[in-house]
Amino acid sequence: MKTGRSYLQLLGLATIATLLFGVFRPAHAAPQEKGDATSQKDTAQYVGVDTCKTCHEELYKNNFENTAHFKTTLHDGHGCESCHGPGSAHVEGGGDVTKIISFATMSKQDANARCLSCHGEKHEQRHFSGSAHASNDVGCLDCHSPHKAKEPEHLLVRAQPSLCYGCHTTAKADFAKPYHHRVDEGLIQCSDCHNVHGTTTLRQVRAMPSGEAVCVKCHADKQGPFVFEHVPVKTEGCSSCHTPHGSTNPRYLRVSQVNLLCLQCHTFPAQGPAGPSHNQSTKYQACTMCHAAIHGSNASNVFFR
Amino acid sequence: MLSHWLRMQQIALIVLLWSIAAAAQTAGSTAGQSQSQPEGWEGGGYVIHQSVEIGYRVSDTTGSEQMYNTLVDLRSGPRFLEQSLSMQSQNHDGLLFDNLFVNSYGWGGDPNNGLRMRMDKNKWYDFRANFRRDQQDFDYNLLANPLNPPTSSPNIPVTLSPHNFGTRRRVSDFDLTLLPQSVISLRLGYSHNNMTGPSYSSVHEGTDALLFQNWNTTLNSYRFGADLKILPRTVLSYDQSLDYYKGDTTWQLAPFAQALLPGAPGTVELGLPIDTANNNPCAIVAPATSLVDSTGTLTNAACNAYFDYNRTNRTRTSAPTERLSLHSSHFQRLELTASYAYSSADMTAPLNELFNGLMQRSDIRQETVTGPGQATRISNVADFSATFHLSEHFRIVDTFRFWAYRIPERFSSIETDWTCLDTATCSLLTPISETTPSATATSSDLSFNQSWNRNQIDFVWDASKHFGGRIGFRFGDKVFHQILDFSTGDEDRVVIHEYTPLLAFWAKPTTNLRFNFDWEHTNNDDALVRIGPRKEDRYRIQGNYTPKPWAVLGASINLWDASNGDALTDYHAHNRNYGFTANLAPRERFGFDFAYNYNDTKQNALICFSDSNTSLPVVANAGNCTVNGYNDSKNPLLTNGDYTSSTHYGMGSVMFKPHARITAQVGYSITSVGGQTPQFNALQPFGSLQYNYHQPLANVAVDIGHNLTAKAGWNYYQYGEKSFVGPTDPRYFHANNATFSLRWAF
C-alpha cells in the first residue's frame, strides 16, 4: 500500500511537471484582460473615466468614487475599465452592453478570474480558485458588490454574519444556542475563524503560522506547549470535545455531562488511556473538579494542576 | 427593584409618546421623504459622516442571577451604544489619510464591546485596527460540582460552580501595510491578548479544595512581512512573527466549608466535597453525629483538610515563526500557491506549590513541590495548492498540507513531605515540629510528536451557468508518537491512513433558484482515541430560492455521522441538522423573518465505570467489564454511554412601519432542548440536557427629524430546565431588559 501510494504520488508530480512545462505558457496578457470572455479586446481602446461618467455619473459619484476601487483611477489606472475592459466599442455602440464586460452576463468563473487578476495575489485570496466556495459556484459577486455594497469595509452585499447565514442556515441556529461564540453580538465575525476565500485546511478554518487551529489566537492559554499534553487536544483538535459555533451545553461541550465525555475515551481496554477507579455515585461525578488542568499541564501528568 | 422597573416603564412610555407626537408634527412638512443617510458635512477637505447612539439600559432579573450572567449578562446603566465616523478625502489626496473609518459599540458596561478602524492613503499605506473586549461571567453551578448530598452531616451544598469565573479578555489587532501597490510592500502587525479576572478552580490534596484563581494571561504577537512581485502575477513573501505568552495566574485557598479546630485556635478548610456517608472529607467519629458540631468545631481532627494552599506556575513561552510563501498565476491557466513555515516555541514554567493541612492517607502535614517545567515545540508546516484551468469549464485542483511537530518535555521536581512521626496520632493538631521532612526528586522526560500530511485532488466541472459538479479524493497520513518515559522506553506509536472520496454538485435552474449538494466519506484505518472516528460521512444539501426580489427562502440539511466499529468501543456519533429560513419584505413598510431549525445529536460508546447506587437503571442493567476483553476490575460495570439530544430552534419577527417615521419590530425565538443520557449519580439533574430558552423581543424606532432617531427596545429572557434542581441553587431565571436610546447621525 505504501509503495503503491508512493508511485501514485510520483505519477501525480510527474503529471503536474508535464503540464507545467509542456502545456502551460506564461500569461503575457495584461492583468485586466485575464478571463476576458466578452470584451472586444482586439479592437477596443480605453476611453477614460470621464467618458464613463457622461452616462454613469450617478453610479460613479454614489457607488464608485467613495469606494476603495476608486484607486483604480489614480496613477495611470483605468478606473471603470480596469474591471469592465476597454470601453471605446461600448461608447461607439451607443452604450451597447454586449461590447463591454458585463459581470451580470459573465460566467462565475470569468467574473472570479477578473477579480482575482488584482486581488488574487493577496494572502487572503490566494486559495480562492481551489476553495469550497469556488467549487460550489459561489463567486466573488455573491458576497461582494463593487457598486451596491451595504457594508463598506469589504464591499459586502450584507454585513456578516447575516451574509453567511443566507446559505449557512445551520450556523445561524448554532449561534442562537445559549452557549455560543458571540458572532450575533458583533464580537467575532465568521471571517475571524474561517478564511472564506479558501485555505489548505478542512472547513476553511484558519491556522496559526505554527500550525495550530485558530482557536488559540484568543484562547492563548490552551496553545502550550505543555509538559504533559492531553492527547486529543493536540491530535483530534478542540472540536473533539467542543462544538465551536454554539452548543446547548455549557462550555460548548458536545455532551451535557462531563464524566460521560471523559469515560468515552477513558475506558479500558480498547486503547489507552486507563479508566478511572472512582465511584460515579459520589463526588467523582465531576472529573474536572480534580483534573482541573484538562487542556494540558506543566506540573501534573494527571492534570491535577 | 420592581418600583424602579415600573418607573422606567412610565418614563419609556412618555418618551415614546412624545417621539411619536414629534414625528407626527414634522410629518406634514416632510411627507413623502423616506428616511435616508444624512449628507454629511465637509471639513478640512474631507466628507465626514458620523453617528452616535447613547442610551440607558434597565435590567430586571428574577431567579438565578448566576445563570442570567452566564447567558445574558446585560446590566442596568447608561450606555454609549454605538459610534461611527467616516472621513473621505474630497480630492482623494488627504494629508495624512484619504479614508478613515471608525466604528465602535458597547461602551459603558455591556459584556461585548469593540472598535474597528481603517485608515488608508492610496499607494502609501493601509492601516487596520480592532479592539475587542469580552466579558465572561460564567457560573453554571453544575459544572465541576461534587453534588454534596443533603443527607450529609453537616449539609453544605455547593451552590455555585467551583469553576466559575468573571474574566475580561481584551484583544487588540493592528496591521499596517506599507506601499500596498508597489513591487515591494511591507507588512507590520501587532496583537495583544490579555485576559484577567477572578475565577475559581480546585485542587486535590487529600480532599478537594476550592481555590481562588487570579487569572492573568497575556499574549503579545509581533509580525513583519514583505511581499515582492518577482514576476508579473507572481509574489514571493516572507513573514517573521514572534509570539510571547505570559501566564501569571496564581492560585490560593478559598474558603468554602470552614470549621474551628478542636482545642486549638484557628480554622481549617474542609474542602468542597462534604459527603460524610462516603467519608468525604473524612469519617464522623463516634460519639459525634456530625463532622462539625453546633459550635462550628471539627469533631474529627484526623481529617483531610487545608490550613493553607498556594501555587504559582509562571509560564513564559516564546515562539518565533518564519514563513516563506509564493503565489503565482504567471502561467496561463495555472495558479500555484506554496508556503513553508518553521516555528520553534520554548516554554518554561517553574512550579512553586505549598500545601499545609492533613493528607490522611499518607499522614502528610505539609508538602511543597518546586521545580522547573520545560517544553519546546518545533513545528514545520508546508502547504501547496495548484489549480489547473484545463478549459473554460474544467479544472483540476490539488491541495497539499504537511504539518509536523515534536515537543520534547521535561518536568523536574522536588517534593518535600512533612510526615507525622507518630502516624497513629497524626492529625491537624500535629505541629510541624513533630513531623519529619523527606525530599523526593522526580524527573519526567517525555516527547510528544505528530506528523500529518494530507493531499486532496478535485476535478471541478462547470458545465454551464446552470449546473456543475466536483469529484475528488483526499488521502492522508498521520503518525503519532508519544514517548512517555525515555528511561523505560514506554511509548505509543500509531499510524493512521485516511482515504476520503468527495462528491459535490450544484444547480441553478433559474437565476433565482439554486441547490448545492456535498458529500464526503472518510475511512481511517486506525484511531488515536476511542472517539476518534474510523468512518465519517458528511452530507450537505442547501437550497435558496428568491421567487421575488423581496422574498428569500432557504433550506438546508446537514448530516454528519461518525463511528469506530471496534468491538470493545462501538462508538457512534451523529449530528443531523435540518433548517429553513424565510425573509420576506413585500413592502417597504412590512417585513417578515422566520427560521426553524431542528438538530439531532448523538454520541455513544461502550464504557466501563464504577458505581454503587443500584437504584440507578444504568447500574442495575449494567453488563460486566471484567470479562470478554475488557478486564477492568476497577471499573466493573459495562454500559452503552449514550448521549442523545434534540434541539428545536424557532424564531419569527415582524417589522412594520405604521407611519413613515416609525419602525417597529416584534419577534420571538425559542430554543427547546430534550435528550437522554445515563444518570450515574442520583443527585445529578439533567441540567443542560433538557430545557427551554425563550427570547421574545419588541422594539420601536422613531425618526424625530434632524437626523435624530429615538429607540426603545424590550428583550425578555427565560431559561427553565425540565428536571429537578439537584443539591444546588435553582438555575431558572427570567429577565426583562429595556434599552432606551437616541441616535444622531450627521
> Which residues of A are less than 8 Å from B203 in CB distance?
290, 292, 304-305
Nine cell digits for residue B358: 492533613
Least confident of A281-290, B47-56, B99-108, B462-471: A281-290
Nearest in space to B116 (alpha carbons), one of A235, A192, A193, A52: A192
Q: Do B147 and A172 touch (CB under 8 A)?
A: no
* Per-residue model confidence (pLDDT) at position B22: 42
Amino acid at B488: T
> Which residues of A are less than 8 Å from B278 in CB distance?
279, 282-283
To the nearest whole number, what is the mean pLDDT of chain A?
Answer: 85
User: Is residue A28 pLDDT above 80, yes or no?
Assistant: no
pTM of the predicted model, to two decimals?
Answer: 0.90
Residue of A nearest to B634 (CA): A277
User: Is residue A29 pLDDT above 70, yes or no?
Assistant: no
Q: Do B147 and A283 touch (CB under 8 A)?
A: yes
Q: Do A166 and B384 touch (CB under 8 A)?
A: no
Is the C-alpha dihedral spanning B520, A184, B695, A258 positive or negative?
A: positive
Q: Do A298 and B373 touch (CB under 8 A)?
A: yes
B87 min Cα distance to partner chain A (Å): 10
* Per-residue model confidence (pLDDT) at position A26: 52
To the nearest whole number, what is the mean pLDDT of chain B?
Answer: 92
How confident is the model over B292-298, as a mean pLDDT?
95
Question: How many whole angstroms separate alpha carbon B516 and alpha carbon B579?
Answer: 14
Residue of A nearest to B396 (CA): A130
Burial track B567-593 (b if 16+ CB lie within 10 A, e otherwise): ebbbbbbbbbbbbbbbbbbeeeeebeb
Question: How many whole angstroms separate alpha carbon A201 and alpha carbon A223?
Answer: 18
Question: How many whole angstroms separate alpha carbon B674 and alpha carbon B601?
Answer: 10
User: Is residue B9 pLDDT above 70, yes or no?
Assistant: no
Amino acid at B646: S
Q: What is the pLDDT of residues A285-298, one digit of tens each?
A: 889 999 999 999 99
Q: Is B644 in contact with B677 (CB distance < 8 Å)?
A: yes
Q: What angle do CA A227, A230, A233 make, to 5 degrees?
A: 120
* Per-residue model confidence (pLDDT) at position B373: 96
Is the C-alpha dihedral spanning B522, B523, B529, B530 positive or negative?
A: positive
Residue listed under C-alpha cell 466579558: B135
Residue of B nearest to A181 (CA): B134
* Per-residue model confidence (pLDDT) at position B35: 40
> Which residues of B are less than 8 Å from A165 in CB distance?
581
User: Is residue B403 pLDDT above 80, yes or no?
Assistant: yes
* Per-residue model confidence (pLDDT) at position B40: 82
Percent of chain B with pLDDT over 90: 86
User: Is residue B631 pLDDT above 50, yes or no?
Assistant: yes
User: Is residue A1 pLDDT above 70, yes or no?
Assistant: no
Question: How many whole angstroms separate alpha carbon A101 and alpha carbon A111?
Answer: 9
Task: Confirm or reject contact between B407 and chain A (CB < 8 A).
Answer: yes
Tell me which residue in B143, B529, B613 faces A236 most closely, judged by beta carbons.
B529
The strand pairing partners of B320, in sequence order, are B242
- Contacts (Cβ under 8 Å, ≥6 apart) of B125: B176, B177, B178, B179, B180
Percent of chain B with pLDDT over 70: 95
Nine cell digits for residue B744: 444622531
* Distance from the Cα of residue B22 to its chain's centroid: 45
Q: Do B377 and A272 touch (CB under 8 A)?
A: no
- In whole angstroms, how large is the CA radius of gyration of chain A? 27
* Per-residue model confidence (pLDDT) at position A22: 45
Nine cell digits for residue B108: 459603558
How confident is the model over A214-222, as a mean pLDDT?
96
Task: Confirm or reject contact between B566 and chain A (CB < 8 A).
Answer: yes
Q: Do B411 and A228 touch (CB under 8 A)?
A: yes
Q: Is A84 in contact with A104 (CB distance < 8 Å)?
A: no
Residue B706 zone, left/alpha/beta (φ > 0; ψ -120 to 50; rest): left
Question: How many whole angstroms separate alpha carbon A165 and alpha carbon A183?
Answer: 11
Kindly indicate the confidence band of residue A144, based on its pLDDT and cuts at 50, 70 and 90: very high
Q: Which residue has the higher pLDDT, B40 or A248?
A: A248
Q: Which helix (H) or strand (E) holds A55?
A: helix A49-63
Q: Do B607 and A256 touch (CB under 8 A)?
A: no
How confident is the model over B315-328, as a mean pLDDT?
97
Q: Per-residue DSSP letters for A150-192?
A: SBTTTTBSS-TTHHHHTT-HHHHHHHTSSEE-STTTTSS-HHH
A88 min Cα distance to partner chain B (Å): 26
> Which residues of B are less than 8 Å from A290 in CB distance?
202-204, 208
Q: Do A27 and B504 touch (CB under 8 A)?
A: no
Least confident of A91-105, B127-141, B430-444, B730-744: A91-105
Q: What is the pLDDT of residues A162-191, one digit of tens each?
A: 899 988 989 999 999 999 999 999 999 999
User: Is residue B19 pLDDT above 80, yes or no?
Assistant: no
- In whole angstroms, how large is the CA radius of gyration of chain B? 32
* Per-residue model confidence (pLDDT) at position A74: 81
* Per-residue model confidence (pLDDT) at position B37: 58
* Per-residue model confidence (pLDDT) at position A11: 54
Kindly indicate the confidence band of residue A21, based on its pLDDT and cuts at 50, 70 and 90: very low
Q: What is the DSSP letter of A33?
A: G
Task: Confirm or reject contact between B273 and chain A (CB < 8 A).
Answer: yes
Q: Name which of B161, B635, B640, B677 to mutate to probe chain A: the one with the most chain A Cβ atoms within 10 A of its Cβ.
A: B635
How confident is the model over A39-51, as a mean pLDDT?
77
Q: Do A263 and B607 touch (CB under 8 A)?
A: yes
Q: Do A251 and B395 touch (CB under 8 A)?
A: no
Q: What is the pLDDT of residues B77-118, one digit of tens each?
A: 999 999 999 999 988 888 899 999 999 999 998 999 999 999
Question: How many whole angstroms separate alpha carbon B99 and alpha carbon B46?
Answer: 9
Q: Per-residue DSSP letters for B532-587?
A: S-SEEEEEEEEEEEEEETTEEEEEEEEEEEEEE--TTT-EEEEEEEEEEEEEEEEE
Q: Name which of B97, B113, B334 to mutate to probe chain A: the one with the most chain A Cβ atoms within 10 A of its Cβ.
A: B334
The strand pairing partners of B310, in sequence order, are B252, B354
How confident is the model over B531-550, as a mean pLDDT?
94
Q: What is the pLDDT of residues B194-252, one digit of tens each?
A: 999 999 999 999 999 999 999 999 999 999 999 999 998 999 999 999 999 999 999 99
Q: Name which of B329, B374, B398 to mutate to probe chain A: the one with the most chain A Cβ atoms within 10 A of its Cβ.
A: B329
* Per-residue model confidence (pLDDT) at position B3: 52
Question: How many whole angstroms separate alpha carbon B103 and alpha carbon B117?
Answer: 6
Q: What is the pLDDT of residues B632-685, one digit of tens each?
A: 888 999 999 999 999 999 999 999 999 999 999 999 999 999 999 999 999 999
User: Is residue A104 pLDDT above 70, yes or no?
Assistant: yes
Q: What is the DSSP letter of A282?
A: T
A267 min Cα distance to partner chain B (Å): 6
Tell me which residue in A129, A231, A283 faces B273 most closely, judged by beta carbons.
A283
Q: What ipTM was assigned to the predicted interfaces of this complex? A: 0.91
Task: Confirm or reject contact between B476 and chain A (CB < 8 A).
Answer: no
Task: Confirm or reject contact between B719 and chain A (CB < 8 A).
Answer: yes
Q: Do A257 and B689 touch (CB under 8 A)?
A: yes
Nearest in space to B557 (alpha carbons), one of B583, B570, B572, B575: B575
